Amino acid sequence: MSVTKEKILNFKAQKLDKLTIESSLSSSVTLIALNASIKNNVAISIPHIHIVNKPLTKTIYHAVNITSTEAELFAIRCGINQSIHFDNISKIIVITDSIHMA
């Protein structure tokens, strides 16, 4: 029995949905979803930070002459720095599409 790419993607999407719902039930969990890309030698990284009962925070960072991995790491660091300033945060979940971050 072969597992198709579509089945794998559906399974991963279901796990991500479950993770998002579970993190939304606790005010002590921060969910950071981020993305980074490079175009014309300019890296753009965007972390989205979600904490229950708080506004969704989206921050855009621009940098020149760095790799996408460095941009992702920078976005993770900034997301964590923003998250720890809230009281009672005991768990930070980072979601990224970069295999190098895993």
Q: Is the pLDDT of residue 1 over 60?
A: no
Cβ–Cβ contacts within 10 Å for residue 1, how many? 2
In a domain, 102, yes or no: no
Domain count, the chain: 1
Quote the domain boundaries for residue 17.
5-96
3-55: pLDDT as tens digits:
788 888 888 889 888 888 887 888 888 888 888 888 888 888 888 888 888 88
In a domain, 78, yes or no: yes
In a domain, 91, yes or no: yes
- Predicted confidence band at 102 (pLDDT cuts at 50, 70, 90)? low
In a domain, 73, yes or no: yes
Question: What's the whole-model pTM score?
Answer: 0.72
Task: List Cβ neighbours of 15 (8 Å cut-off, separation of 6 or more).
Answer: none
